[in-house]
Structure 1
Amino acid sequence: MQEALRIGIAVFNAGDYHVAHEAWEEPWLALAEGTSEERLLHGLIQYAAAVHHGRRRNWSGQRGLAESGERYLAAVDEGCPVNVDEIRAYLRRLAADPELAERRRPPALRYAGDAIEPTDLSFEAVATAVTLLASEYDAFDAAVVDDAVRYAREELGDDSSPRGTPQRRSRGFVGMLFAFAADRDQRSIVYERLRGHVERRRSRESDVSGLFEK
């Protein structure tokens, strides 16, 4: 649950609000109803959905989600690592003034005080994030992203980077996947680079396979 929480926070802070909802939904459904963790994820899902609807000027839908999200987060136990008090205050303002979503970026989500971004995640968490992103947007071929993740894992298994180098700064598929998850404005450009690398790698694999079929 903690890993899914961090992934959702990271993609939310990158501006992919609906994808954050997707990251949290499956673990939320697996939690017992009424627990503090269930209320936290439920409230965050409502928060992400409210922002998503606001960006599409669906004011009535946004208002209802803001009101219900605030109620769920109000029932979260003290000591929660997420900045629920700040989010509740924003949701109250949003319910009273839905057009606030157009005038102000929603507050960043924080985990243990840190506004987590995709570049703060582990590779496996980023792999989950990019898979969700590819499923969300029609512009991206999920099969290309799946292969890129597979090739990135192969890179990590044969890692020649200097010891201590953050994975987000790695070259090749690993670095491109971190950039794809983190940079929403440049994501389409990063994807085209990623697709080109995947196609070349697929072609090499096909050539090698063909040698053994003759």
Structure 2
Amino acid sequence: MDQHTMDPSIERPPNNATPTGWDEDTDRWEHETLRRAVIHGIRLYNSGEYHDAHDVFEDEWKKYGQGKQEKAFLQGLVQLAAGVYKLASHDNETGLIKLFRTSRGYLSDVPLDYYGVNVSQVHEILEKGIEQPESAIGTQVELDTNAPAARQEDLEYAESIELV
């Protein structure tokens, strides 16, 4: 585990699950800050806070080098959130389709349970959105088999991010 991705306050997966990213030997997430970003970002996305979700994912992906699976995963989520934002806020179907195609590429080799995210479901959202862009608005992404909504702490976390 890299020092810059440690956060011992991040809890273990619920129900003794062992998604990809959970290290059973150390009883910790391989990258705890990635798990934190996933929790905040997915809850924001599920509540229609697409721009904030985008910012949370983008802030975290900057911590990983090129060719890293963590970076590809986060870039895929960035593109998902940005695509829905473009459609929901700017009625830009072409932008959504372009971003969804890019997201699909980033997520192509990511395990389907990565850090507790139902990546298979994300693939379904992307495929359907490419064919029917309006279907992407209001979609929910499962995290640990639930589709959690944003809490005040998620909005506060997004506000605390200083993107450069």
TM beyond 0.5: yes
Question: How far apart are the structure 1 equivalents of 2:155 and 2:91?
Answer: 26
**Deviations 1:62-112, CA, capped at 9 Å, x for gaps:** 1100111112122203542211111111211211222334xx522x12222
Which runs of no fewer than 5 residues in structure 1 stay unpaired?
A: 136-214
Shift of 1:52: 0.6
Equivalent of 2:141 in 96, 109, 125: 109
Equivalent of 2:101 in 67, 81, 89: 67
**1:33 counterpart SS class:** coil
Q: How many residues align?
A: 126
Equivalent of 1:129 in 155, 159, 162: 155
Is contact 2:83–2:96 with CA below 8 Å preserved after alignment?
A: yes
Question: How far apart are the structure 2 equivalents of 1:79 and 1:18?
Answer: 24
Identical-residue share of aligned pairs (%): 27
Is contact 2:61–2:71 with CA below 8 Å preserved after alignment?
A: yes
Structure with greater helix percent = 1
Higher relative contact order (Cα pairs below 8 Å, separated by 6+ residues): 2
1:86 paired residue number: 121
Shift of 1:45: 0.7
Which runs of no fewer than 5 residues in structure 2 stay unpaired?
A: 1-33
Question: How far apart are the structure 2 equivalents of 1:78 and 1:86?
Answer: 9
Equivalent of 1:23 in 56, 62, 75: 56
Shift of 1:21: 0.5
Matched, 1:100 2:135: yes
Shift of 1:133: 4.7
Is contact 1:36–1:77 with CA below 8 Å preserved after alignment?
A: no
Shift of 1:4: 1.3
What's the RMSD between the two structures over aligned residues? 2.2
Matched, 1:76 2:110: yes
Question: How far apart are the structure 2 equivalents of 1:100 and 1:91?
Answer: 10
- From the CA coordinates, give the structure whose radius of gyration is larger: 1
